[in-house]
Amino acid sequence: MSLPVMDLVVALHVFSTFAMCGLIWFVQIVHYPMMARFDRVRFAAIEKEHCDRTGFVVVPPMLLEVITAGLLLLAGEWSPVFLGSAAVLGGIWASTFFLQVPDHRRLLLGWDEVAHRRLVGGNWIRTAGWTLRSMAVGYVFFK
């Protein structure tokens, strides 16, 4: 890839990683804990709306992040820090699909204390992951 294209890929990767880091901290500290206060009678409908609206916010930067990570790897970004951050990204995606998505599916059926507790606790994996990725990506591209 040409240098201007690679500059764009790097910029999009940094942007998407930092965006997801900020978003996940908001979700972890504000939104997920507040779910415990949602109306129990309407909880399933509120959870559905949460999932629908959240998808529009998180899917684009998550896809952008993984696509640009792949492009950077294909272009030869093989520094140990970047490779480690790519492995963390794989862990974030695994956590999303094997932990958070199943808990959200349970909550779509109505309030479930156990599923909510798992959701909040398990989401620390992604929160730590995106925080580590932000530091690693910042180090690799801004040192």
Q: Is the pLDDT of residue 87 over 80?
A: yes
Q: Is the pLDDT of residue 129 over 90?
A: yes
User: Which pLDDT value is given to residue 143?
Assistant: 85
Does the pTM surpass 0.85? The reply is: yes
Mean pLDDT over each residue of the chain, to the nearest integer: 97
Segment 28-75, tens digit of pLDDT: 999 999 999 999 999 999 999 999 999 999 999 999 999 999 999 999
Q: How far is CA 99 from the centre of its chain?
A: 13
Three-state SS for 35-96 is HHHCCCCCHHHHHHHHHHHHHHHHHHHHHHHHHHHHHHHHCCCCCHHHHHHHHHHHHHHHHH
With a pLDDT cut of 70, the percent of the chain lying above it is 99
Average pLDDT of the residues in 125-142:
97
